[in-house]
Structure 1
Amino acid sequence: MEQEPKWITVVALALRGGNGRWLMHRRPPEKHHGGLWEFPGGKVEPDELPDRALEREIREELGIAIRCDRLRPASFAQSAPSNGAPGIVILLYRTDHWTGDPRALEGGEVAWLTPEEIAPLPKPPLDVALCRALFGSLSEKPVQ
């Protein structure tokens, strides 16, 4: 009998533009955490390394190419298992190198924002923690 995972690994990207703005993705309304803003990324498949998974997810989600050798670990955030759902560990990488024009290929929208503009946006709790780690202590509250 196969055991359900106790936690899921997710990778996310903090993409910084040359103007000091950061790319954020607004989730489509019909998805979990719909309408909330997050760092783009997705689940790591069992046979993938996190940086390769991020390369794949960003290509699928934003239509841009990033290179694993240009990624730098930035932070991580985690949640405990709850209501039968596994916990989540998000590994945040950062880069300011990519090829292409980012677009929301799976719905939602993308925007280039300053840390001050990102602070008040409604975000999932783990993205709030990632923003604090990346941009410093921000006075904001996660969406419950």
Structure 2
Amino acid sequence: MKRIHVVAAVIRGIEGQILLAKRSADKHQGGLWEFPGGKVEAGETAQEALARELHEELGIRPSASRPLIQVRHDYPDKHVLLDVWDVSAFSGEPHGAEGQPLAWVSPRQLSDYEFPAANQPIVAAARLPEHYLITPDGLSGPELLRGIQAAVKSGIRLLQLRAPAMFDAQYRDIAVDALGLCAGKAQLMLKGPLEWLGDFPAAGWHLTAKQLRELSAGGRPLSKERWLAASCHSAEELALAAKMGVDFITLSPVQATQTHPDAEPLGWPHVSALLQGVNQPAYLLGGVMPSDVERAWQAGAQGVAGIRAFWPQ
């Protein structure tokens, strides 16, 4: 069955809200909400199709857009490639030019709306930022908390509390304080045994590659209301993460890194090839800087993750 190439747009308003449209009842997956867009016609680039579809459907013209995520999904009756773009500026006033209802919703509210199954990774990508901060090893508890506070103040919205050399009891104490610093401002991802899940209901969980391999056969280990991520380093681990239903992944190491000097770098071309088959938002990690984010987008990633290069000095 031929895969249908479709463009879709995560359109952001001035206050960060996202524009949704409701599919008419007579369409495929009718009655569900969607990110506006439509089929790419023969001879069109994705950007040309995006501009045409948004003008036809909403009466707007995008003036600033970038790749966000590509999702391949197989319905029983059709196979689709959703080519999703983040539209941060446009001209015109959006209206349902085809009579379709529209809604501006906050990223947090997206999970309250019912979308076609293929749209679930787009919902995650629309809610996730472009930078993922991972705390450095070897810092004291007060140093970690001061750094987290500074990072959140500087605009970091997603961070992982990683302290592999720390005793469990100390890590758990710091996690409580870190959750307080992040409340309402940033999503904190914790690492550790899943027996801790119930003790930190506001936290997301980031699985190690070892945990991913051990747990993937059992399916997703926590509810869809909580963020779940996994560390991946190969096509095999990417497949396990997809099977488990994680919300996003890190893929590393892209380049040589001080943190793991013995690890063989994947390299940018191989990273790009690996992400061709990945539906989950992916952060690239290992030898990347915050300034590499545009290169990461072009490779098919959500953004970049890092430790030292991202940590507030």
TM-score, length-scaled by structure 1: 0.84
Any conservation in 2 of the 1:6–1:81 contact (CA below 8 Å)? no
Does residue 27 in structure 1 map to residue 19 in structure 2? no
Aligned pairs, number: 132
Gaps in structure 1 of 5+ consecutive residues: none
> What's the secondary structure of 1:118's corresponding residue?
helix
Any conservation in 2 of the 1:11–1:53 contact (CA below 8 Å)? yes
Query: Of the candidates 11, 14, 32, which is equivalent to residue 7 of structure 2?
Result: 11
Query: Of the candidates 72, 75, 78, which is equivalent to residue 78 of structure 1?
Result: 72
Alpha-carbon RMSD across the aligned residues, in angstroms, is 1.9
Tell me which residue corresponds to 2:195. Answer: none
Partners of 1:11 and 1:31 lie apart in 2 by 16
Any conservation in 1 of the 2:71–2:82 contact (CA below 8 Å)? yes
Q: How does 1:52-131 map to 2 (within 5 A)?
A: 52-67=48-63, 70-80=64-74, 82-83=76-77, 85=78, 87-131=79-123
Gaps in structure 2 of 5+ consecutive residues: 129-203, 205-223, 227-313
Structure with bigger helix share is: 2
Does residue 139 in structure 1 map to residue 135 in structure 2? no
Tell me which residue corresponds to 1:48. Answer: 44
Q: Offset at 1:11? A: 0.3
Tell me which residue corresponds to 2:268. Answer: none
Deviations 1:20-75 (A, max 9, x none): 101011111222222111100000012100100000000000011113xx210001
> What's the secondary structure of 2:91's corresponding residue?
coil
Partners of 2:125 and 2:14 lie apart in 1 by 21
Higher relative contact order (CA 8 A, sep 6+): 1
Q: Offset at 1:81? A: 6.3
Partners of 2:61 and 2:117 lie apart in 1 by 28
Partners of 2:95 and 2:124 lie apart in 1 by 25
Partners of 2:23 and 2:55 lie apart in 1 by 16
TM-score, length-scaled by structure 2: 0.40
Give the fraction of aligned pairs with identical amino acids, expressed as a percent.
Answer: 34
Any conservation in 1 of the 2:107–2:126 contact (CA below 8 Å)? no
Any conservation in 2 of the 1:71–1:93 contact (CA below 8 Å)? yes
Deviations 1:85-106 (A, max 9, x none): 3x10001101221111101111
The structure-2 alpha-carbon separation of the partners of 1:81 and 1:19, relative to structure 1 and needing over 3 Å to count, comes to closer
Partners of 2:117 and 2:74 lie apart in 1 by 12
Any conservation in 2 of the 1:27–1:107 contact (CA below 8 Å)? no
Q: Offset at 1:134? A: 2.3
Q: What amino acid is aligned across from residue 13 of structure 1 in structure 2?
A: A
